[in-house]
Structure 1
Amino acid sequence: MMGLVYFFDVTGFCLLFLECSQLSEKLKDNVYNLPWQCMDLKNQKTLLIFLNRIQTTMHITCMGVLPVGVQSMASILKTCYSYFTILQSMDI
């Protein structure tokens, strides 16, 4: 039962992180499409700061090494299932 709860928690977090990275991409497109020609100088400078900050897409990593996402979650679950089936097949 506890394993099933952890599975749904991990799945939920991975989907949440995927949504965050997709929203980061949408934010980049929206800032690029702003009509900066019609703004005053102060707002243009602020927009320039935004443009510099959103050059890199937000990616969430685990301890700075493993990117957290659906693919990494699937590979972890496959590995855990493989270990589980190996342990189940042993006569201990």
Structure 2
Amino acid sequence: MHPVEALEAMLASRKDSALLRFGLGNAWLAGGQPEAARAAWQRGLSAAGSKGDQQARREMLVFLRRLERAPKDSVPAALRNEAR
């Protein structure tokens, strides 16, 4: 099973989780889908906010900012190296 599929299955089977959304964003980014990664991290911000998870929120904000600064046709090297 592809990491994206596994993470989406976990999200479907339980309540929303900032950690799962963060992992999903990383998986999308590693697969060359920065817009899908952005969407996952934005949903993760909402999940983190509802749970009071400030560390997860800060990390996703950093990744989103890096993605915003990158040219539209490339994935920032800093994000490629950190995506798992």
**Fold-level match, TM-score > 0.5?**
no
What is the TM-score normalised by the length of structure 2? 0.36
- Choose 1 or 2 for highest CA Rg: 1
Structure with bigger strand share is: 1
TM-score by length of 1: 0.34
